[in-house]
Amino acid sequence: MRWCVVSEPEQRKCADLAKALGAAFPPAGTMYSQLSCVRAFSTADCLIKIRDNKADLVTLDAGEVYSAVKQFGLAAVAKEIYSDGSCLLAVAVVRNTSSIDVLSLKGTTSCHSGARWTSGWNLPLGQLLSHNLLPWAEGQPFSQAVSAFFNASCVPGAGTMPFSSLCSRCQGQRSYVPQRNFYCETSHSEPFYHNQGALRCLRSGAGDVAFVDHTALESIDDSVKDEYRLLCTDGTQAPLSSFRKCNFGRGPGGAVVTRINNQNLARKFLSAIQKAFGWKGRENHRFQLFDSSVYGVGDLLFRDVTDKLSVLQQGIDISQILGLDYVALLKGLRHEGSSLEDSVVRWCCISHAEQEKCEQWALSIKSDPLVCVSASSMSDCIEKIKASKMNITRDKVDAVSLDATHAFIAGKCGLVPVVTEYYGTKCEFTGERPFEAKDLLSVYGVAVARRSSKSVYVGNLAGRRSCHGPVYSPAGWVLPVQHSLSSEHNNSTPCEPNKVYSKVFWKGCMPGAEGSLCKVCVGGTGEAATKRCSNNHNERYYGNMGALRCLVGDPTGKSYGDVAFMEHYNLESNIRYLESSGWAKGIVARDFELLCADGQRASLTQWKNCNLGAVPPNIVMTRPVLAARIYDFLMKSQKARPDSEFRLFESQQYGESDLLFKDATQCLVHTNHIDYRTILGEDFFSQVESIFNCTHSGYTPVLMLLPWRSLPHSAAVGRRAASAVPVGMLDFVPSSTSVDRSSLEQLQAFVSQASHLFVITGAGLSTESGIPDYRSEGVGLYARTNRRPMQHVEFMRSSKARQRYWARNYAGWPLFSSHLPNSAHHALRNWEEKGKVHWLVTQNVDALHSKAGHQRLTELHGCSHRVVCMGCGQLTAREEMQKRFAALNPSWEASAGEVAPDGDVLLEDEQVLQFRVPSCQSCGGILKPAVTFFGDVVDRETVQFVHNRLAEADAVLVAGSSLQVYSGYRFLLAASERRVPVAIVNIGPTRADHLAELKVSARCGEVLSILSAS
């Protein structure tokens, strides 16, 4: 083996490793005992030498690993694993006397661990880009943008970039002979190279800020740590100990690369030297593989904080090794090795008319290429944008303009605002500065009826025919339900809008809905032909224009409404268009009136006083890493070319209104620096949040992608399947018929053919152990009670919420913790012992799989048997916490009723007033169950780990889950993309039924125990 080294100290460490290998392994073991050290002048030189078969191995930062694979055709064979995992946090360090914050970095001098390195370049600069703090013009090399942003820098490795200020603060030896030039090179011979070098650059006064990874902070002597501070992305500073909260993002650590044809030998070699010289190596008295202290320089051959090496399996894609989010970031930064196609902007279109307008837009611009991608609805657009980030869809989408409700949903899914539509009368641009309006103007939702229909008014709409904007639209779905539409409808609890509208109205058209709310819809014709009630402009009754068409009625006079819910701003122009287009000859604005919330009527011009509520403006949203690029693209797009007839904010020439953007838009306002919640406003945000929080069929939006669909009710239910389960244990299991022989045989064949079975389980597995779930029809907590699970934001913000939660949890713990695994758990454990189950992922937090003895297990949402400190991260056994609760509350008593899936019980408010909640014994922080509450997200590393296990599987089995929560459903999407067969065992429908080749609707305990026995 030939190891590539980049400095004299690294050569000495490599030579000592070679000597230790010779002493530790017998001469016969030539594969391991012979190591030579090949000197290079930089890591880039190492890549060339390995590619040209002049060296074999080198350890690189993750950013360089990507280039090694994509640009040089090499392969990663091992990853560095640190004490807390394989990831690094990027931090920015300044002197404590500095007044610099993240908003004032422009014009400072900077020290970086390395060019294109994760913590020294990619993550911090990506953050600055995503917040529009770092300008990057079209066609401008990224290195030039960085050079212009900082006054001067030392970025080792930037010597090949054509902008000298990136190297102006470096201090390595200069020479015209490459082998002797160490100035600004990725070599320890450059004093400011790597983490230690960047900190040395800061200490020496050569720079104002050092961009390094968090592990470098350990090297700062305790006596001087108070002399430095961290820059946080919110504009504040924090002590060095706060790096977990104050950082510029998380990225992958280092990895070892080699040539593709040398992978097997390299893996064996790395495994051997780790077993011999790692921290627990049998020969580490001869040599310390992960310690460079004796050489006077840190991080030689490997980072000194490396705990061990994880040898990678052959054939793993680079996106799995580095993580999908990180690879997306590299592409966004035009990293060396990224594809030219990443300069393309992909816009989401939901209809034939939008596609036609988008194609004209693409022809009219002279900037980044625009690709128009078809989707079935706004919800589908959000899913495609999110899925593009995860590389689980071929139809990649980058951006879309969303109405306020869909912007709420997109924000919950992790998308960010880029610009907001501005509906004012004048847009003023000052030089190159983006237009930032003082007020983001709203439009208004209105109810419209024919003037001749005098008996139609708000409060008397029962039994009428209705026309709505699409499902989730602000004016057609959110606002009407806030009012008393009829004497039977009480607006005090606006839950389940679809059910309210179905009960109030005889029938209607709400594109994207189901049942009676689709009966008035008419579908599409010609090139836009589509089925009735499609959730896009192909349905002729879609949107503001469509709702007006619906109110007027189609030319046959059969499909029409009595009242239409729409937005006010283009109502009169749409009336004129329908008259001129021949849809409704002779109609004029005075043929219609507005229905006011108080039961009165008014002319169309009185919308300010006669409306159902304000509708926040549409927001263009994208993935965070693309925000700067989408913003630049849109700024160029709204500057119309003099020779072009295309108008970005006009739609009627395409036969519709509000295509791609609202027609009322005058210009686009820069809002990437504003949170989507602020743009929507607290009133509207709270309205939508309350609807989704209490809408059973809407579920909890933060934990899933859309569409949120109401589950269809089960078909005719037979007798409950016979069972040997103890009495009472099936009280929370929905009714089901016994599984038929044919389904069992098909499932048996499915499982038998799998050699690496990937299993996903849900609450339906634990109901047979006596633990209720939330969603089961008739027996779930949603169906029987008003109880809702604890929200993450509420728990973290409110001490009273924590007091209430822990009091309930304390009372319910003895019963909750006593539940035992059932036959389904044991059957799956039996399969694991036989080597059938490759990996099991459970969405449950009850620890029943662990109690059953599972080893190859990921608890996706955590485990309620552990408690975590939100301050310092310390873990405590839940049983130990029970003792602390008892000690703090010796006289507190409460009787436990029915236990929820997360372990709490229902108590009256007065019962919890005196309950005392302990804090973390180490740091005084907030204690929380180590589970993912509703409103929180699953840890990225956990998600990536599960994706890696799924990539190794040849079949997927879902047991006891409706997959309504996206955190589990995402793996079914990934399986479908990889063409991995899926089978589902669950009572009732699931979100992934369309992805499964086999569905068995029966009890998991019954089905799995039969299969296990056979």
Q: Answer whether residue 718 shows pLDDT above 60.
A: no
Strand order in the sheet with 927-931: 875-877, 862-869, 927-931
Residue 779 scores a pLDDT above 70: no
Confidence grade of residue 70 (pLDDT, cut at 50, 70, 90): confident
Binding annotation for NAD(+): 762-782, 843-846, 960-962, 986-988, 1004
Q: How far apart are CA 34 and CA 15, in angstroms?
A: 11
Instruction: Please determine, for residue 395, whether its predicted confidence score (pLDDT) is greater than 60.
Output: no
Q: Which two tokens stand for residue 957?
A: 């089995």
Tell me which range, 175-189, 462-476, 550-564, 767-781, is most confidently predicted by mean pLDDT.
462-476
- pLDDT per position as a tens digit, 924-949: 889 999 998 877 778 888 899 999 99
* Residue 198: pLDDT over 80: yes
Q: What is the pLDDT of residues 54-64, one digit of tens each?
A: 999 999 999 99
Which pLDDT band holds residue 387 (cuts at 50, 70, 90)? Answer: low
**What per-residue confidence (pLDDT) applies to 727?**
33
Per the CB < 8 A criterion, the answer to whether 184 and 161 are in contact is no
Which pLDDT score, from 0 to 100, does residue 733 have?
A: 63
Confidence at 725, pLDDT banded by 50, 70, 90: very low
What pLDDT does 768 receive? 83
Q: Where is average pLDDT lowest: 160-174, 241-255, 888-902?
A: 888-902
618 is written with which tokens? 């549409």
pLDDT of residue 429: 60
Give the confidence band of 437 by pLDDT, cuts at 50, 70, 90.
low
Q: Is 868 helix (H, G, I), strand (E, B) or coil?
A: strand
The average pLDDT across 147-152 equals: 92
Residue type, 773: D
> Does 698 have pLDDT greater than 80?
no
DSSP class per residue in 606-650: GTTTS-SEEEPPPEEEE-GGGHHHHHHHHHHHTS--TT----TT-
In sequence order, what are the beta bridge partners of 443? Answer: 615
**Residue 757: strand, helix, or coil:** strand
pLDDT band at 780 (very low <50, low <70, confident <90, very high): very low
How far apart, in whole angstroms, are the C-alpha atoms of residue 488 and residue 882? 48
- The annotated binding site for Zn(2+) is made up of 869, 872, 920, 923
Residues 289/282, Cβ–Cβ less than 8 Å: no
pLDDT tens for each residue of 965-989? 888 899 999 898 888 999 999 988 8
Give the chain's length: 1014
Per-residue pLDDT at 529: 76
**Token pair recorded at residue 199:** 């900190």
What order of strands is seen across the sheet that includes strand 757-761?
857-859, 837-842, 757-761, 955-959, 982-985, 998-1000
Grade residue 912 by pLDDT with cuts at 50, 70 and 90.
confident
pLDDT of 908 above 90: no
Confidence of residue 724 (pLDDT cuts 50, 70, 90): very low
DSSP assignment string, 92-149: EEEETT----GGG-TT-EEEES-TT-IIIIIHHHHHHHHTT-S---TT--HHHHHHHH
85, 219, 308, 732, 831 from 305: Cα distances, Å: 11, 10, 9, 50, 38
CA distance 289 to 312: 19
- Is residue 953 within 8 A of residue 839, CB to CB? The reply is yes
Span of 63-67, 390-394, 462-466 with lowest mean pLDDT: 390-394
pLDDT band for 368, please (50, 70, 90 cuts): low
Q: What is the DSSP letter of 46?
A: H
Tokens representing 158 are 């930037």
Q: How far, in Å, CA of 411 to CA of 692, rounded? A: 14
Residue 332: the pLDDT is 74
Q: What pLDDT does 923 receive?
A: 85
pLDDT at 474 over 80: yes
Residue with token string 């090399």: 141
Point out the annotated binding site. Answer: 762-782, 843-846, 869, 872, 920, 923, 960-962, 986-988, 1004
Poorest-confidence range of 227-241, 424-438, 700-714, 871-885? 700-714
- List beta partners, residue 422: 667
Is a pLDDT exceeding 60 seen at residue 390? no
Average pLDDT over residues 825-840: 93
* pLDDT value at residue 530: 80
- Stretch 443-447: mean pLDDT: 96
Answer whether residue 483 shows pLDDT above 60.
yes
Residue 812 confidence (pLDDT) above 50: yes
Residue 456 is predicted with a pLDDT of: 94
861 is catalytic: yes
Read off the pLDDT of each residue in 227-246 and give the average, rounded to a whole number.
92
H helix runs in 278-351, sequence order: 318-322, 324-332
pLDDT beyond 80 at 818: yes
Question: Is residue 819 pLDDT above 60, yes or no?
Answer: yes
Position 402 pLDDT exceeds 50: yes
Q: Are 546 and 517 in contact, with CB atoms under 8 Å apart?
A: no
Per-residue pLDDT, 728: 38
Question: For residue 723, what is the DSSP state?
Answer: -
Of 187-196, 206-215, 692-701, 836-845, the poorest mean pLDDT is in 692-701
Instruction: Tell me the pLDDT band of 304, cut-offs 50, 70 and 90.
Output: very high
Tokens of 332: 């966004």
CB contact at 8 A, 793 and 821? no
Q: What distance in Å separates the CA atoms of residue 560 and residue 53, rounded to the nearest whole number?
A: 75
Provide the pLDDT for residue 612: 96
- Predicted confidence at residue 163, as pLDDT, reads 57
- The catalytically annotated residue of 468, 861, 865, 947 is 861
Sheet holding 416-422, edge to edge: 370-374, 345-349, 399-402, 619-622, 416-422, 667-670
Beta bridge partners of 509: 467
pLDDT value at position 219?
Answer: 87
Give the C-alpha separation, 629 to 416, whole Å: 13
Contacts of 876 (CB under 8 A, 6+ apart): 866, 867, 868, 869, 927
Q: What pLDDT band is residue 642 in, cutting at 50, 70 and 90? A: low
Q: Band of the pLDDT at 838, cuts 50, 70, 90?
A: very high
Contacts of 315 (CB under 8 A, 6+ apart): none
Name the pLDDT band for 899 (thresholds 50, 70, 90). low
Q: Which one, of 132, 117, 637, 149, lies nearest residue 329 by Cα?
A: 117
Nearest-angstrom CA–CA distance, 132 and 105: 13
The mean per-residue pLDDT over the stretch 647-670 comes to: 92
Mean pLDDT of 331-358: 74
Task: Give the burial class of 53: count Cβ atoms within 10 A of its Cβ; 0-12 exposed, 13-18 middle, 19 or more buried.
Answer: exposed
Given a contact cutoff of 8 angstroms between Cβ atoms, the answer to whether 841 and 759 are in contact is yes
- Greatest pairwise CA separation for the chain in angstroms: 102
pLDDT band at residue 610, thresholds of 50, 70 and 90? very high
**pLDDT, tens digit (0-9, with 9 covering 90-100), for 548-587:** 999 999 877 777 899 999 999 999 999 999 999 989 889 9
Confidence of residue 1009 (pLDDT cuts 50, 70, 90): confident
Identify the bridge partners of residue 355 per DSSP, sorted by sequence position.
Answer: none
Q: Are 958 and 942 contacting, i.e. CB atoms less than 8 angstroms apart?
A: no
| 329-338, 531-540, 611-620: least confident range | 329-338
Q: CB-based contacts of 835: which residues, under 8 Å, 6+ apart?
A: none
Determine the number of helices (DSSP H) and then strands (DSSP E) in the chain.
Answer: 31, 35
* Mean pLDDT (the chain, rounded): 84
Residue 898 has pLDDT above 60, yes or no: no
Q: Does the pLDDT value for residue 30 go beyond 60? A: no
Cα torsion 765, 771, 773, 779 to 10°: value is 110
pLDDT of residue 127: 85
Residues 518-537 have pLDDT tens digits of: 999 999 887 767 889 999 99
336 has pLDDT over 60? no
